[in-house]
Amino acid sequence: MIILASQSPRRKELLRQVIPTFEVIPADIDEDSVQVDNPELLPEKLSVLKAEKVFSSHIDDTVIACDTIVLIDGRIMGKPHDGKQAYEMLRCLSGRTHKVISGYTILKANKRISKSVTTLVTFNKLDDELIHRYVATGSPMDKAGAYGIQDKEFPLVEQIEGSFYNVMGLPVESLKKEWRNI
């Protein structure tokens, strides 16, 4: 059996592009307690911990785990706690380029693959009215950096350099390549 160690609906949707059938078993780890010297290493480290947690109870299966962060000025932007924080994040990203980094791990009995993928995202200059309308939709609340690149009705993003799917939360192109090696 193949297991996705995530409860993200976007990851579930994206993984179907690589693997049509799998089970979902979210990993219960304390992400806030994980420390790294370089924030760019955090997503891959979290993906390893998530995969190992689920694999420990499913040693005959293959586990896929992923974690995504938004990074600007050396600061990690996680999921906003409320509308005010979502507004502040979007204001910070406005007119600037940031990194979206996803780390993923594929773990099975005799093999472990862990990778990180980075995409550069440049935001349009956002006015307050647009930010408030977007925050009011509730869409930013479950997304790192308080935005979803797939939210096409809001012109947030000017350009991306790298994987669109990575910004959604799962670097499909990289995962497809590695999946062939499993």
Catalytic residue positions?
Answer: 67
Identify the CA nearest to 147 among candidates 93, 74, 81.
93
Identify the CA nearest to 107 among candidates 46, 59, 68, 67.
59
The answer to whether 155 touches 124, Cβ cutoff 8 Å, is yes
Query: What is 64-114 written as a DSSP string?
Result: EEEEEEEEETTEEE---SSHHHHHHHHHHHTT-EEEEEEEEEEEETTEEEE
Q: Give bridge partners of residue 65 from the DSSP assignment.
A: 105
The CA distance from 63 to 80, in Å, is 28
